[in-house]
């Protein structure tokens, strides 16, 4: 298989959440990735929204790469139907490998792990380790309170308005995916995630 023209790293929950809209959005995103012949890079699980986005990408003909730490492999049951499943010893290596394989990042609804991944890749961009676009899919208003807090952080002087605007926010998975693909670009000066 040839190298996909675009590779998107998706962060999302290992649970489905309480609203059917979350699952619907994950499936729509995965289908859009697959239909375009792009590559999904994600946490490697076959559960929750993670499993939904991976299965939808595969069903639509996309390439899927999963990266899962050994401890979670035992708990989440790594997805065995992927093009690549990497089982790594630590969470740090998981996130580094996922970032190295991505042209852009998008966070769907999820818990503290999803938030941690989003904030880490956002911090990496602020520090100049990469310049890939970052998106936040605000399905059914899930991230409304977080967005209000980030605006509060800007008002209180702990975050610049420019850095807050780095993350593109959308409510429609396909439209946000397309916006990230348009914005994506590579820079030789920012490809070394081993330094973070």
Q: How many domains are contained in the chain?
A: 1
Residue 196 lies inside a defined structural domain of this protein:
no
Using a cut of 0.85, tell me whether the model's pTM lies above it. yes
Asked, for residue 13, whether it belongs to a domain, the answer is yes
The answer to whether residue 42 is domain-embedded is yes
Give the CA distances from residue 152 to residues 23, 48, 149, 162, 166, in Å, rounded to whole numbers and listed in that order. 30, 31, 5, 14, 16
The confidence score (pLDDT) of residue 72 equals 85
- The answer to whether residue 141 sits within a structural domain is yes
CA atoms within 13 A on the CB side of 94: 24
pLDDT tens column, 134-189: 999 999 999 999 999 999 999 999 999 999 999 999 999 999 999 999 999 654 44
Task: Tell me which residue range forms the domain holding 134.
Answer: 7-182
184 vs 17: CA distance, rounded Å: 29
Residue 60 lies in a domain: yes
What does pLDDT average to over the chain?
Answer: 92
Q: What is the CATH number of the domain that holds 116?
A: 3.40.50.450
Per-residue pLDDT at 76 exceeds 70: no
């Amino acid at each position: 298989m040839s190298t996909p023209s675009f590779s998107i790293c998706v962060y999302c929950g290992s649970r489905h959440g309480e609203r059917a809209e979350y699952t619907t959005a994950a499936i729509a995103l995965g289908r859009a990735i697959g239909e375009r012949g792009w590559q999904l890079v994600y946490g490697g699980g076959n559960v929750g929204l993670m499993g939904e986005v991976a299965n939808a990408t595969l069903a639509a003909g996309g390439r899927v790469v999963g990266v899962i730490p050994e401890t979670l492999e035992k708990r989440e049951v790594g997805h065995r139907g992927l093009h690549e499943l990497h089982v790594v010893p630590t969470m740090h290596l998981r996130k580094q490998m996922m970032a190295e394989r991505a042209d852009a990042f998008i966070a769907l609804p999820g818990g503290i792990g999803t938030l941690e991944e989003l904030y880490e890749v956002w911090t990496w961009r602020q520090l100049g380790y990469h310049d890939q676009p970052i998106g936040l899919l605000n399905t059914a208003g899930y991230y409304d309170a977080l967005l209000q807090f980030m605006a509060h952080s800007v008002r209180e002087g702990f975050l610049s308005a420019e850095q807050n605007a780095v993350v593109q926010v959308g409510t429609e998975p396909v439209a946000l995916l397309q916006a990230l693909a348009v914005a994506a670009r590579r820079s030789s000066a920012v490809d070394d995630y081993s330094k973070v």
